[in-house]
């Protein structure tokens, strides 16, 4: 029975997301962490960087150089501001 379900799911395609939608997801995630746990921007940025390390959705991180730039950003507020700018565009 599990095999039949897997075959049914296999035919489904994932919806494509835009770069802005991908950034909006990360911004919403950061906002939720801030509201629920009152985390500082540095801790939130660290969690976002964990996701960005392997992020592929929406072409948000188009190449290795861009990924390195985001992951090495020392200012958590600046990282979130960059994501907000992409989400708003």
14-45 pLDDT per residue, tens: 678 899 999 999 999 999 988 887 888 888 99
Residue 46: pLDDT over 50: yes
Predicted local confidence at residue 84, as pLDDT: 93
Give the up-direction half-sphere exposure of residue 52: CA atoms within 13 A in the CB hemisphere: 29
Residue 1: pLDDT over 80: no
Residue 86: enclosing H or E segment and its boundaries? helix 76-88
Over residues 54-87, the pLDDT tens digits come to 888 888 998 999 999 999 999 988 999 999 999 9
Tell me the pTM.
Answer: 0.77
């Amino acid at each position: 029975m599990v095999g039949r379900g897997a075959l049914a799911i296999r035919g489904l395609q994932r919806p494509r997301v835009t770069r802005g939608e991908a950034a909006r997801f990360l911004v919403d995630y950061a906002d939720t962490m801030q509201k629920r746990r009152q985390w500082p921007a540095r801790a939130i940025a660290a969690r976002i960087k964990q996701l960005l390390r392997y992020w592929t959705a929406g072409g948000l991180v188009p190449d290795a150089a861009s990924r390195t730039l985001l992951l090495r950003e020392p200012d958590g507020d600046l990282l979130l501001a960059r994501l907000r700018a992409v989400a708003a565009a």
